[in-house]
Amino acid sequence: KQEVTQIPAALSVPEGENLVLNCSFTDSAIYNLQWFRQDPGKGLTSLLLIQSSQREQTSGRLNASLDKSSGRSTLYIAASQPGDSATYLCAGGPGNQFYFGTGTSLTVIP
């Protein structure tokens, strides 16, 4: 069964810092990968999708990359803001389902 690990489990940074969240899969046969944010008591908000033919995606201050050979993905957040505080989840899979990590809880301190 696919296992997904997210490191670190929690992260606290001062406003303005750049940061990197990591995600790794035990089975590198990932068809596509998606990053989400989840606010307390809420559903998941899609941030970025990296499809099978892609290696990275960018949206505003966010950049996600995927190395399929190693089964690793990173989410880079530039110039962090207090509004970025949330739990970030990565999910990957063969297409018919996603395997999720347990998330990285991010706190950006004003």
Partner 1 sequence: GAGVSQTPSNKVTEKGKYVELRCDPISGHTALYWYRQSLGQGPEFLIYFQGTGAADDSGLPNDRFFAVRPEGSVSTLKIQRTERGDSAVYLCASSPGTAAEAFFGQGTRLTVV
Q: What are phi and psi of 54, to 5 degrees?
A: -110, 165
Among residues 4, 21, 86, 106, the one that binds partner 1 under rule CB under 8 A = 4
Beta bridge partners of 20: 76
Q: How far is the CB of 96 from partner 1 (least distance, A)?
A: 5
* Contact flag: residue 100 with partner 1 (CB under 8 A): yes
Asked if residue 99 binds partner 1 (CB under 8 A), the reply is yes
Shortest gap between Cβ of 25 and partner 1 (angstroms)?
Answer: 13
Candidates 12-20, 49-57, 58-66, 67-75: pick the segment binding partner 1 (CB under 8 A): 49-57
Integer Cα distance of 62 and 87 in angstroms: 15
Tell me if 54 sits within 8 A of 65, measured CB to CB. Answer: no
In a 3-state reduction of DSSP, which class is residue 12? strand
State the nearest-atom distance from the C-beta of 93 to partner 1, in Å: 8
| Contact between 24 and 101 (Cβ < 8 Å) | no
> Which of 30, 66, 77, 91 touches partner 1 (CB under 8 A)?
91
**Residue whose token pair is 């990590």:** 101
**Does 3 sit near partner 1 (CB under 8 A)?**
no
